[in-house]
A and B are shown apart, each in its own frame.
Chain A
Amino acid sequence: MKIPFKKKNTEKEALVKVLSKSNDYRHLHFTNEKTKVEFYLTFIASLTDEKIIHKEALPYLLHGELYHLDDVPELIPIAETEISTNAKDIENKLFNGNVLVQVVGNEEQLCFFSAQREVGRNIGIPEVEFSVIGPKEAFVESMKQNLNLVRKKIPVKELIIEELTIGKVSKTKVAIIYLEEITNQENVNTVRQRLQDIDIDGITDSSFIVQIISDNQNSPFPQILDTERPDRVTAGIIEGKVAIIVDGSPHALIGPTTLVELFSSFEDYFLNWIVSSFFRLIRLFAVTFSILVTPIYVATLSYHYELIPRDLLSALVASRRAIPFPPILEALFLELTIELLREAGARLPTKVGQTIGIVGGIVIGTASVEAGLTSNVLLIIIALAALASFTTPVYRMGNTIRLLRFPFLLFAELWGLVGIVLSFCIMLTHLIRLTSLGRPYLEPLYPPRGQDMKDALVRLSFKNQAKRPVFLRSKQPARLNERDAKQKQDIDE
């Protein structure tokens, strides 16, 4: 037993040597006034709250009856204390904002108490997934607060929060959250396994994790839902999904997810089911429109003039008469302009961004039509398509849709409508092959599950949502007492 101890000591010395290079490393010597016991406090000043040390710890340690290290937890009024003999903990604990107490003469025994400094912004309102109705909280960067937000909403013992540390350098804390009696253990295991397998130096945001643990990393489609809304996360957990919260990231992850979920806004659940179903269908139409309309324009104008209704023909030909480019160049020119505007708008502060949008939209649009570079019909089409692509409630999906248009355009230019259908087939195959944490991505469309259609293209009423989605393979499928939904009264009773 002695040899490892010795080794530990050398390890400790090496640690101290490295640490003392940093300016914010503190190693202070104190003596208890009553018992004259000498002790050291070791901590990293930038991570700890000195107020806690001065007010909650030091007075007790200096004036209390401290004979032994074991007395420390009893003396100081701080809940998070720990006594350990493992020198390996030192680095870990210090960098989590703990203070190390060592009594002179018994340096092998270590006592830690937490004096973490809470720096971070307050809980704000959701910005990416804003909703008019419903809760207005959004996650922040601090994991503690985020976990608090979730825990408050699910105050049961079955809610399990598992913590992992990922990143050799960043030591990011990652929490896996699920409901024990409901979530399929296989999903939890998959998530845990994939998180444990991550071998990376640093992680700064949950989007790193999304990309690393996705089933197919070469797919433009997001395979794990990320959200800044605690209500969406809790709803997902209750439904039987697994949530991941990453320290330092205001976006939580939910998986497994499906394509249709990425097109549903959480606001859908706040509205009446008829209204929200209508909105979902509108969104579906908008997305299809946004992807297909420019390719169809290019295909029809380049190859299939027969399709154009004769009343539209004169408007189209007249607007294109002066334009020197073939439809594909015209379309690419405008599409790229719109993409430029979006990128410029996104990189600039909000107010300037708006100006850019207006300047770009109106001035460039009008000018290019007047200069005879594009036709006004196409300008309308592209503007509408851009507008439609903003209706996707999940930001990541919106980006995917922006990108998808281009392969479609290329194939439309090659083979007209046949090309569009071909590229659609390729996309469809890709989607069928895609999985999210091992569950089919296109569910409930394929594999077709009639039961899950209740919350897919349309959202039916809560009465019809009595079962958890099949694809989650939950341990408890039922979620609503179906009996009280059944009884119906006669008229005038």
Chain B
Amino acid sequence: MSISIPENKKISPFLVFFVVQKMQFGIGILGFQRIIAKNAGHDAWISIILVGIGVHIVLWALFKMLETVNGDMISIHTFVFGKIVSKIFGIFFILYYLLLTVTVIRTYVEIIQVWMFTDLATFWFSLVLLSVVVYIIFGGFRTVTGMAFFGIVLPFYVFALFLFTLPYAEFNNLLPILDHSISDILLGSKNMSLTVLGFESLLIFYPFIKDPKKSKKWAHLAVFSTTMICLYLAILTFAYFPENQLQKNIWPTLTMWKIIMMPFVERFEYIGIANWCLIILPNASIALWCSSRIVKRLFSIKQRTTVPILAIICLIATSFLFTRKQVNLLSDMVGQVGFYLNFIYFPLLLVATLIAKKVKKNEVGS
């Protein structure tokens, strides 16, 4: 059942860190603070830690499944449910990753339209973005990983810049701890899911890892670092904004940049938003790559043909989302699907895999 990938197309185990972290860390980071604070208020940082722990558990489950079948998601589904059902699930996943691509690109376009160019044409800008994405994917998974790598390393200086908000931070805002009920905090955790979503792409690129066993610690480290970054941002945000003001800002991270003033740059947010391009491009490419990869696994169609077709589908979908409301609806939907997928479906799938393994073993045994 294992899929053979040429050795020189595989990636070193530690690069898994960048792919997993990149998938989680993208557009959500610009506005997650408001969403998680909706229910949990200034206690939402606890929600982040809870989600972090949850993601570690799910990641463990994913690795367990992958090790059992030594393949990818399609192999798992075939192993558990048989060929036909696995195809249906596969199609669902294709759609899921396409939606993810659309969400990432459309949200970024939305941000540019609000903050920089009100008259930016969605279609043309997405066309260029998606062309770059296709160009990246044509370079193979190694190039996708490479962009993920640079997408994390190069914009990392941004996190140091958040310290500019410290003179305005009122850490008392975080007190008293646990002022909200447990259910509120759990709701906050659920809202957090769009932000940390995406690590499940491991299910697809697992066969591309050179030494999968070694990659485990890197994947967990990636998840851990995402949690830490979110925590860092959330705490700074809660200290910077009173709760009522936070609820008024759709992209609190961007609003926080407005206070940054350097001797050679008067306002940072414009540089930051432009920079985010480097962050969302690998994000979209991983998602689209996953989508085309599943198509290849299911129907054996060349990725060279599917990637442009899928990109065009994404382009059309992106151009048909006109209003903020539609964009929000889409990202909410993806967030919901991602939440149920990651935290409900995959654990169940693990159980099913283990049972299937036992049954098959018994069959062989008898």
Contact = CB atoms under 8 A, between A and B. Distances in A.
Interface of A: 303-304, 306-310, 415-418, 420-422, 424-426, 428-429, 432-433, 442, 446-448
B153 to A, nearest CB: 8
A433 to B, nearest CB: 4
B259 to A, nearest CB: 14
B277 A421 contact: yes
B175 interface: no
Given A417-B273, A421-B274, A429-B146, 14 more contacts: A309-B264, A417-B270, A421-B277, A425-B147, A425-B277, A432-B139, A432-B142, A432-B143, A433-B138, A446-B149, A447-B15, A447-B142, A448-B15, A448-B149
B214 to A, nearest CB: 15
Interface string B145-161: 01101100000000000
Contact of A306 (B142, B266, B274, B281): B266
B265 interface: yes
Contacts of A303: 116-117
Contacts of B128: 422
B266 A416 contact: no
Interface residues of B, number: 34
Contacts of A446: 146, 149-150
B217 interface: no
26 contacts: A303-B116, A304-B116, A307-B265, A307-B266, A307-B267, A308-B266, A416-B116, A416-B117, A416-B274, A418-B274, A418-B277, A421-B275, A421-B277, A422-B128, A422-B129, A424-B278, A425-B132, A428-B150, A429-B135, A429-B139, A432-B146, A446-B146, A446-B149, A446-B150, A447-B11, A447-B15
A117 to B, nearest CB: 49
Nearest to B138: A433
A425 B271 contact: no
Contacts of B138: 433
Interface in B237-288: 263-267, 270-271, 273-275, 277-278, 281
Main secondary structure of the interface of B (DSSP, over half): helix
Contacts of A433: 138-139, 143
Given A421-B277, A425-B132, A425-B278, A415 B117 contact: yes
A309 B263 CA distance: 7
Contacts of A424: 278
B12 interface: yes
B112 interface: yes
A429 B270 CA distance: 23
Nearest to A430: B135
A435 B267 CA distance: 39
A221 to B, nearest CB: 15
B136 interface: yes
A37 B66 CA distance: 86
Contacts of B281: 425
**Chain A binding surface SS class:** helix
A216 to B, nearest CB: 11
Contacts of B149: 446, 448
Nearest to B282: A425
Contacts of A448: 15, 149
Interface string B1-34: 0000000000110010000000000000000000
B265 A309 contact: yes
Contacts of B142: 432, 447
A227 B1 CA distance: 51
A442 B150 CA distance: 11
Nearest to B262: A309
Interface string B125-141: 10011001001101100
Nearest to B149: A446
A26 B218 CA distance: 75
A309 B261 CA distance: 9
